[in-house]
Amino acid sequence: MSHNSFGHMFRFTTWGESHGPALGVVVDGCPPDLPFDLALVQRELDRRRPGQSKYTTQRKEPDQVKVLSGVFEDDRTDGLRTTGTPISLIIENVDQRSKDYSEIRDKYRPGHADYTYDQKYGIRDYRGGGRSSARETAARVAAGAVARQVLSGVTIRASLVQVGPHKIDYANFDWDQVDQNDFFCADAKAAEQWAPYLDGLRKSGNSVGAVIEVVAEGVPAGWGAPIYGKLSADLASAMMSINAVKAVEIGAGFEAASLTGVENADEMRAGQLAPYFKSNNAGGILGGISNGDPVVCRFAVKPTSSILTPRETVTTDNRNTDIVTKGRHDPCVGIRAVPIGEAMMACVLADHFLRHRGQTGRDGPTGFEV
């Protein structure tokens, strides 16, 4: 048991507070002798990095990652390679401005973990939310970038599909659009409409929630495990562990409740080499095990709790008061949750890839007569 670790065979442990000297992650169990691309890790961190548009917090963190262990290079390895030992990645905190947070020492911010940390631990690093800050997600993104390097043949992408009440139109869905707008949104038209909407919210000192869809293509049939090791259960845990997430669904998700059995069960047809499914209500997972179709997961992020509108709250000694969270915050934390969701998907899949290989001795499915 480890509150700050995730995964089993591909297992990472994160540490660090929002306003401490640094944060980091230790990735244990990575397969050995893989090319290790530190630039790829940095690229993923840059996607999550704050301050890149007016829709995300203006905190200026370069989020420069350093690798301290677990990789090796000599004249025979042609670049860095993993050694199979723990990969320690560290990111220094630079722009901390601790004085911004002095007020929250004595008041609980509604929607934040201030009150619950105090109730659990009897002590709380209140500077920027301490351990409960979304800065922790940088460490996840770094772990996810390592996981991607383990998953050859698997493509993991995500898109913001809803901001507040405004959903995308799947008819416009185009993965190539995701990096063309400030919202990681695959629907260019929706992104255009969201811009003034979010601008308005930001100016009025308000915020809004969002829904992210993460899709993994190229996952072979057979990953996952029955019962409590279900791929879907681990994805649910992974996404729900992200800050501010309140809901997770796989495939048809909550919509499946409204479907009949005739509508819902994905019918199968014989393919050239293997069967295929006529639809993907299952989201690529049946009985907790991947079926070869894209793995589809959506999760909802609540609106940023740090807002400029005054809210009623109490002091740490239980007296009524109001609070305005100044600091520097995202009007929609859901935006930056896009690369984070991808990272968690990658980590879950890397873990299940290794678990599957360990138990069965195969990388993929048992296969048809191929």
Q: Please identify, using beta-carbon distances, which residue of 176 and 252 lies nearer to a second copy.
A: 252
Q: Which is nearer to a second copy, 176 or 254 (CB)?
A: 254
Name the residue nearer to a second copy (CB basis): 178 or 244. Answer: 244
The residue (of 42 and 207) whose beta carbon lies closer to a second copy is 207
| Structure-token match 């729900």, residue found | 240
Rounded to 5 degrees, φ, ψ at 267 are -70, 155
Q: Applying CB under 8 A, which part among 45-53, 82-90, 170-178, 182-190 lies near a second copy?
A: 82-90
Nearer to a second copy, 23 or 65 (CB): 23
Shortest reach from residue 30's CB to a second copy, in Å: 8
| Positions 5 through 64 that interact with a second copy (CB under 8 A) | 5-6, 8-9, 11, 13-17, 20-24, 26, 28-33
- Residue 78 near a second copy by CB under 8 A: no
- The SS3 of residue 244 is coil
| Smaller CB separation from a second copy, 176 or 287 | 287
Beta-bridge partners for 108: none
The token pair at 366 is 């048992």
What single-letter amino acid sits at 170?
Y
Measured between alpha carbons, how far is 19 from 93 in angstroms, rounded to an integer?
Answer: 7
DSSP 168: -
Q: How far is the CB of 79 from a second copy (least distance, A)?
A: 12
CB 171 within 8 A of CB 228: no
Least CB distance from residue 343 to a second copy, whole Å? Answer: 13
Compute how many residues bind a second copy; rule: CB under 8 A.
167
Report yes or no: 151 and 349 within 8 Å, Cβ to Cβ. yes
Which are the contacts of 93, defined by CB distance < 8 A and separation ≥ 6?
A: 16, 18, 19, 20, 21, 22, 23, 61, 135
Find the radius of gyration of the CA atoms of the chain: 21
Buried b (16+ CB within 10 A) or exposed e, 78-87: eebbbbeebb
d(CA 302, CA 244): 5
Residue 69 or residue 180: which is nearer to a second copy going by CB? Answer: 69
Q: Least distance (Å) from a second copy to the CB of residue 305?
A: 5
Using CB under 8 A as the binding rule, the residues of this chain from 264 to 323 that contact a second copy are 264-271, 273-275, 278, 281-283, 285-292, 300-307, 309, 311-314, 317-320
Site for a second copy in 345-364 (CB under 8 A): 354-361, 363
Amino acid occupying residue 74: D
* Alpha carbons 210 and 302: distance in angstroms, whole number: 7
The SS3 call for residue 43 is helix
Nearer to a second copy, 188 or 324 (CB): 324
Which listed residue (104, 221, 335, 345) binds a second copy by CB under 8 A?
Answer: 221
Residue from 225, 295, 340, 346 touching a second copy (CB under 8 A): that is: 225
Name the burial class of residue 208, with classes exposed (0-12), middle (13-18) and buried (19+) by CB atoms within 10 angstroms of its CB: buried
Contacts to a second copy from residues 117-176, by CB under 8 A = 117-125, 130-132, 136, 162-165
Near a second copy by CB under 8 A, which window of 49-57, 151-159, 182-190, 202-210?
A: 202-210
Binding to a second copy (CB under 8 A) within 232-271 occurs at: 232-241, 243, 245-271
Complex with a second copy: residue 176 or 269, whichever CB lies closer:
269
